[in-house]
């Protein structure tokens, strides 16, 4: 997606579409790679999207891998045994201790279960929804990138694309909601387009926790750019977040039902100990990755504001900065509930990376900056970790010629090939 080559002028869009279709059937991965190189083409972007769906169709649930993915597959099998009359139970879960407060994922799972209990079609549907908002968000940056393609914008566009890649459908609910929210919030924050609240308000139907960031977005929209208020709150969020945990618990208790149950799950001692044990077993770079990215982006934004502030004086950039400061405070306070704060930290990375990317769009110098060089290690570390984690679900046969080959051969993940 980073570089585009000129198209052959003799090829019409219809012929391009036919060629891509033929190539996709003959060798899906080669067509995907070709489409990335020619991402300027509308037809190429369609190929990328359909390859994502193909990845979902060939998705591998690796034993010992992501809990969410295995849970989705198990839920699908359980739904397949239920009568259609049970469908309506998924709409009444907000005050139920046993039913999920999310709606979209149970709805899709139940719908797919009417046709099959195998997970392939389910994850193809997940990839179609996730991929749509993922590419919509990337296309925002890519359209701007074409005005100043250089090392700095290329690296940050690539990083933005890989913060939550397509393999993140392992955690479909949280990460699909994240891309949907980013796409909608982008228009609300930068362009004050209130219509996109209708989109961000769908995010809580995918993952209940996005009620909180919708409230935050509404507060920002109503209050506006009040950095004299946001900055002290953000500074305080590094010092006194532990005092906010009782406040979250009190709110969840008043709401009751599944919301209280979910809070207790994320904050009880056993859950925290299990997460701590998992982190201790993980390699050092897994523990370090997010911290390095967090402080790289924070330091870069501070440097921009101290030395290059005039470059970011346009209204849209000022809007984004103000929301970033408010969102930073939200994430830091949210870390009192580990799973809550850590997840929204990833969403913070999306907004912060876009801010840095937006800055480099305005810099005429084509040379790689010292700030980008400083960020190469955390960025490359993130890419390596993302590939390692994503390799569990990527069927190695997806790289082979002939469409459908992974469906007719035994599943072999890239993780088994490269890391075992």
Please say whether the dihedral angle defined by the alpha carbons of residues 346, 283, 166 and 292, taken in this order, is positive or negative: positive
- Residue bearing the bigger pLDDT, 59 or 266: 59
Given a cut of 80, whether residue 273 has pLDDT beyond it is: no
Task: Look at residue 19 and tell me if it is in a domain.
Answer: no
Instruction: Provide the pLDDT confidence category of residue 68 given band limits of 50, 70 and 90.
Output: confident
Task: Look at residue 13 and tell me if it is in a domain.
Answer: no
- Phi/psi of residue 5, each to 5°? -105, 155
Is 159 strand, coil or helix? helix
Q: Do residues 216 and 312 lie in contact, with contact meaning Cβ atoms separated by under 8 Å?
A: no
Task: Look at residue 73 and tell me if it is in a domain.
Answer: yes
Instruction: Provide the pLDDT confidence category of residue 3 given band limits of 50, 70 and 90.
Output: very low
Instruction: Give the tokens for residue 67.
Output: 């809990």
Given a cut of 90, whether residue 39 has pLDDT beyond it is: yes
Give the separation between CA 183 and CA 140, rounded to whole angstroms: 9
> Per residue in 362-414, pLDDT tens?
987 889 999 999 999 999 999 998 998 899 999 999 999 999 998 888 889 99
- Phi/psi of residue 413, each to 5°? -80, 155
Site of tokens 């532990």 = 242
- Phi/psi of residue 181, each to 5°? -65, -45
Give the range among 1-15, 256-270, 385-399 with minimum mean pLDDT. Answer: 1-15
Task: Look at residue 126 and tell me if it is in a domain.
Answer: yes
Task: Please give the pLDDT value at position 140.
Answer: 97
| Residue 255, C-beta contacts closer than 8 angstroms, at least 6 positions apart | none
Task: Please give the pLDDT value at position 127.
Answer: 98
Task: Please give the pLDDT value at position 262.
Answer: 55
> Per residue in 112-169, pLDDT tens?
999 999 999 999 999 999 999 999 999 999 999 999 999 999 999 999 999 999 999 9
> Per residue in 75-117, pLDDT tens?
899 888 888 877 776 555 543 444 456 889 999 999 999 999 9
Helices vs strands, H then E, count in the chain:
20, 0
> Per residue in 288-302, pLDDT tens?
888 999 999 999 999
Task: Look at residue 385 and tell me if it is in a domain.
Answer: yes
Domain count of the fold of the chain? 1
Domain residue limits at 182: 67-393
Q: What is the mean pLDDT of residues 65-76?
A: 81
Q: What percent of the chain has pLDDT over 90?
A: 64
Rounded to whole angstroms, the maximal C-alpha distance in the chain is: 66
Task: Look at residue 402 and tell me if it is in a domain.
Answer: no
Task: Please give the pLDDT value at position 225.
Answer: 95
Give the separation between CA 288 and CA 222, rounded to whole angstroms: 37
Q: Do residues 416 and 395 lie in contact, with contact meaning Cβ atoms separated by under 8 Å?
A: no
- Phi/psi of residue 395, each to 5°? -75, 120
Q: What percent of the chain has pLDDT over 70?
A: 80
Task: Look at residue 419 and tell me if it is in a domain.
Answer: no
- pTM metric for this prediction: 0.88
Give the range among 22-36, 124-138, 190-204, 279-293 with minimum mean pLDDT. Answer: 279-293
Give the range among 36-45, 315-324, 350-359 with minimum mean pLDDT. Answer: 36-45
Instruction: Provide the pLDDT confidence category of residue 191 given band limits of 50, 70 and 90.
Output: very high
Is 7 strand, coil or helix? coil
Site of tokens 């004086």 = 313
Task: Look at residue 25 and tell me if it is in a domain.
Answer: no
Given a cut of 50, whether residue 339 has pLDDT beyond it is: yes
Instruction: Provide the pLDDT confidence category of residue 304 given band limits of 50, 70 and 90.
Output: very high
Task: Please give the pLDDT value at position 250.
Answer: 57
């Amino acid at each position: 997606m980073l570089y585009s080559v000129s198209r052959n002028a003799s090829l019409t869009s219809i012929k391009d579409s036919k060629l891509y279709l033929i190539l996709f059937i003959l060798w899906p991965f080669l067509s995907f790679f070709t489409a990335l190189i020619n991402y300027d083409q509308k037809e190429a972007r369609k190929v990328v999207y359909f390859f994502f769906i193909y990845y979902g169709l060939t998705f591998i649930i690796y034993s010992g891998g992501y809990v969410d993915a295995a849970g989705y597959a198990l839920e699908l099998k359980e739904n397949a045994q239920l009568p259609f009359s049970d469908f309506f139970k998924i709409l009444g879960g907000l005050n139920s201790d046993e039913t999920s407060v999310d709606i979209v994922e149970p709805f899709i799972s139940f719908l797919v279960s009417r046709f099959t209990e195998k997970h392939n079609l389910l994850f193809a549907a997940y990839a179609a929804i996730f991929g749509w908002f993922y590419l919509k968000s990337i296309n925002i940056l890519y359209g701007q990138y074409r005005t100043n393609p250089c090392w700095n914008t290329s690296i940050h566009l690539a990083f933005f694309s890989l913060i939550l890649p397509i393999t993140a459908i392992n955690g479909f609910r949280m990460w699909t909601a994240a891309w949907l929210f980013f796409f909608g919030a982008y228009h609300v924050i930068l362009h004050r387009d209130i219509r996109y609240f209708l989109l961000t308000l769908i995010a809580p139907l995918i993952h209940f926790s996005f009620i909180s960031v919708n409230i935050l977005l509404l507060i920002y929209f109503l209050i506006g750019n009040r950095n004299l208020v946001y900055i002290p709150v953000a500074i305080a969020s590094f010092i006194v977040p532990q005092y906010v945990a009782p406040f979250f618990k009190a709110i969840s208790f008043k709401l009751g039902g599944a919301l209280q149950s979910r809070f207790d799950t994320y904050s009880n001692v056993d859950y925290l100990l299990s997460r701590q044990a998992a982190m201790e077993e993980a390699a050092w770079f897994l523990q370090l990755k997010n911290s390095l990215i967090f402080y790289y982006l924070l330091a870069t934004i501070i440097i921009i504001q101290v030395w290059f502030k005039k470059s970011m004086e346009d209204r849209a950039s000022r809007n984004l900065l103000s929301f970033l400061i408010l969102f930073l405070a939200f994430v830091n306070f949210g870390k009192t509930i580990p799973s809550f704060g850590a997840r929204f930290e990833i969403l913070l990375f999306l907004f912060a990376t876009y801010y840095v990317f937006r800055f480099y769009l305005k810099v005429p110098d084509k040379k790689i900056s010292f700030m980008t060089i400083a960020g190469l290690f955390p960025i490359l570390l993130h890419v390596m970790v993302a590939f390692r984690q994503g390799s569990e679900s990527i069927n190695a046969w997806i790289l082979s010629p002939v469409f459908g080959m992974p469906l007719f051969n035994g599943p072999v993940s890239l993780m088994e090939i490269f890391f075992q």
